[in-house]
Amino acid sequence: MEKEKTPKRTRKFPVKRIGLSTSVGMMFLLGMICGAVFFVVFGFFFLSDFKEISSRIDNFQPSFTSRIYDYKGRLIDELFTENREYVPLSDIPDVLRKVFIASEDQNFYSHPGIDLVGILRAAYQDLLNLKIVEGASTITQQLARNRFLSQKRIFNRKIKEILLALLIEKKYTKDEILEAYLNQIYFGHGAYGVKTAARIYFDKDLSHLNLAETAMLAGILRSPGNFSPYVNLRAAKVQQKRALRRMKEIGFITPEEMDKVLETPIVLSGLKKIASEAPYFVDYVLKDLLNQFDEEMVFSGGLKVFTTLDLDVQEIANKTLKESGYQGAILCLDPKNGNILAMVGGRDYQESKFNRAYQALRQPGSTFKPFVYTTAIDGGISPVDIFVDEPLVFPNNWKPKNYDKKFRGPMTLHEALEQSINIVGIKVLQQVGIDKAMSYAQRMGIHSPLQGNLSLVLGTSEVTLLELADAYSAFANGGRVPEPLAILKIEDSSGQVLFYGKRKVKQAIPTDTAYIMARLLQGVIERGTARRANIGRPAGGKTGSTEDFVDAWFVGFTPDLVCGVFLGNDNRDPLGPSKTGGIIAAPLFAKVMKPALENQPVHDFVKPDSVVELAVCVKSGLLPSSACKTLVLPFKQGTVPLNTCTQCSQ
């Protein structure tokens, strides 16, 4: 009998002998291999991007707000792509750190940059609620995303974010990462970083925030567009409560403390935008900044720019031009050092950003005459030399006229200047020479091209208010003319000085000539066309008007302050009948100068020893007889009148 054959069995023993732990291990190993392959493939496709971003981490720095200050350290304006004021972690209150850690990343100090526990917890909550209710990005991941990546929710961005987070954790300490994060994050309404957010929402320094306000900031962070209390206060309070609940769960606060904080009223400061008192001046400064630094440094480098501006004088000048109703500009500067103290480039910056203080080239009219008279005085012509005001006809049929179309006959030089007599001005220019007069104007600070003809004295060559006012510094400052200065000092975000403004002052005309001209221009205010510019202290100046009342000017000065006023429409339409510099510009000078100088000591122009002051006959300019009305005038030695007047006794 044959033995029964035993059927062959398939080899199933390996399955029977392999336990569950071995199976999981194999799956884990397989996952590791797949993960490694994935990261190799990922690295192949994204290595160039990753290398570039990795190199940027070495120079890890957020965008800072640059700030412009006046000479007293008062904030004028801010320049930024992201409005941020950096604050070191040591100056951030501990309670604020805890709120953000509790709200955003409770395992921050224990994970390597990504939080697997947090990911699982978030996944559980999302599954439980059947929707995304909790994110899993760590503070480090958020920093990586906000600083180096776009906000688009795409797969490769998330992988980059994880890799960057791991790299950041290797390069920096936890405290350094937290400091960078708290200064980087966006809170809505243009506010970046916790310090700026505290100011935007509560107008407080970080050290003065209470826990209720701090928790609300943490809530805003989750979605500034939806949870800002300025947008939705109710939603903001819900998020505030969430942040506090997380603090309670972690043990940072007790339930009783949470309840007490929730009862604390929230007082918002209200959205405020710095309305710069000096937007035209800021543009002027910005031009200089961009000549020295690139745009990134200017708008993102956290520069501190200390300027020459005096906000008190600026406010006065702003109000004066605005209330006048005219378009134009007002400029004030210190004649001793060139510090620009006020610059109003137009009546409304929102209406027009064109800066008429230094960009507008306009005919200065008779404000140019002092340059010709300076040439005459310096060349030995006396303030009492006689010139005849009479009709003139030139070969080209040019027939110049005075403003009032009258002729006065013989008159002294100082009277002709006081009354702004065109005919005498032309005769003086003929006597001193056109080229010489142009040379004096250029030495004193007129840089715009000048036309070499007799109409030069009538102010037909266009100039800017800035160069005209600066040139008048010579009369106020003993012949010395400073280069206009706007920036005193620039510091970087760490306080290191990058730039000091250089003061440049040159002796443009002799001291005695400058003093005599200052006194003659003082006569313009006291007895001439600029009586409306009288400010009750020693001051000189000159009016200017152009044909058909298109432009009106007044530039005046004391030993401490030069102020120039220009009025004129951009399209050069006339300002109106009889709207001369003496009628509409000179009063604005007085409105600026009186309050600007009211707390300053009264200074007079300092007479050089080489100048002789002498009483003369008002009518003839000669030594007075007993019948003469007299006036004290300054003279250079050798130009003093020697004869006695006989006209007044006849």
Instruction: Give 44's pLDDT tier (boundaries 50, 70, 90).
Output: very low
Short-list 146, 140, 236, 134, CA closest to 184: 146
Q: Are residues 255 and 380 in the same domain?
A: no
User: Is residue 340 situated within a structural domain?
Assistant: no
pLDDT reported for residue 570: 97
Q: What is the largest CA-CA distance in the chain?
A: 180
Q: What is the mean pLDDT of residues 253-281?
A: 90
Instruction: Give the span between the Cα atoms of 58 and 69, in whole angstroms.
Output: 32
Torsion sign, CA atoms 278, 279, 284, 286: positive
Total number of domains in the chain: 3
Q: How many CB atoms lie within 10 A of CB 602?
A: 11
pLDDT reading at 1 higher than 80? no
CATH number for the domain harbouring residue 90: 1.10.3810.10
Q: What is the mean pLDDT of residues 130-151?
A: 71
What is the DSSP secondary structure assignment for residue 359, as one 8-state letter?
T
Q: Which stretch of 115-119, 280-284, 402-406, 467-471 has the lowest confidence by average pLDDT?
A: 115-119
pLDDT reported for residue 2: 41
pLDDT reported for residue 131: 54
Q: How many CB atoms lie within 10 A of CB 527?
A: 15
User: Is residue 37 situated within a structural domain?
Assistant: no
Helix (H, G, I), strand (E, B) or coil at 341: strand
Residue ending a domain, among 246, 262, 278, is: 262
| Region of residue 592 (left: phi > 0; alpha: psi -120 to 50; beta: else) | alpha
Q: Are residues 370 and 257 in the same domain?
A: no
Q: Are residues 90 and 212 in the same domain?
A: yes
User: Is residue 545 situated within a structural domain?
Assistant: no
Q: Are residues 87 and 221 in the same domain?
A: yes
Q: Which stretch of 16-25, 178-187, 227-236 has the lowest confidence by average pLDDT?
A: 16-25
* CA dihedral of 258, 259, 262, 263, whole degrees rounded to 10: -140
User: Is residue 189 situated within a structural domain?
Assistant: yes
* Domain region containing 372: 365-461
What is the DSSP secondary structure assignment for residue 301, as one 8-state letter?
B
* pLDDT tens digits, one per residue of 53-66: 566 566 556 788 99
User: Is residue 179 situated within a structural domain?
Assistant: yes
Q: Are residues 241 and 109 in the same domain?
A: yes
At which residue do the structure tokens 């937007």 appear? Answer: 279
* pLDDT tens digits, one per residue of 338-372: 999 999 999 999 999 999 999 999 999 999 999 99
- Contact partners, residue 145, CB within 8 Å, separation at least 6: 137, 151, 157, 161
User: Is residue 339 situated within a structural domain?
Assistant: no
CATH number for the domain harbouring residue 428: 3.40.710.10
Q: Which residues are catalytic?
A: 104, 366
pTM: 0.81
If you compute the radius of gyration of the chain from its CA atoms, what whole number of angstroms results? Answer: 38
Instruction: Give the span between the Cα atoms of 102 and 242, in whole angstroms.
Output: 10
Residue ending a domain, among 404, 433, 461, is: 461
pLDDT reported for residue 135: 55
Instruction: Give the span between the Cα atoms of 312 and 125, in whole angstroms.
Output: 59
User: Is residue 59 situated within a structural domain?
Assistant: no
User: Is residue 635 situated within a structural domain?
Assistant: yes
pLDDT reading at 472 higher than 80? yes
pLDDT reported for residue 633: 98
- Contact partners, residue 203, CB within 8 Å, separation at least 6: 269, 272
Residue ending a domain, among 262, 287, 311, is: 262
Mean pLDDT taken over the chain = 88
* pLDDT tens digits, one per residue of 552-596: 999 999 999 999 999 999 999 999 999 999 999 999 999 999 999
- Under 8 Å between Cβ of 508 and 594: no
Q: Which stretch of 113-122, 450-459, 573-582, 587-596 has the lowest confidence by average pLDDT?
A: 113-122
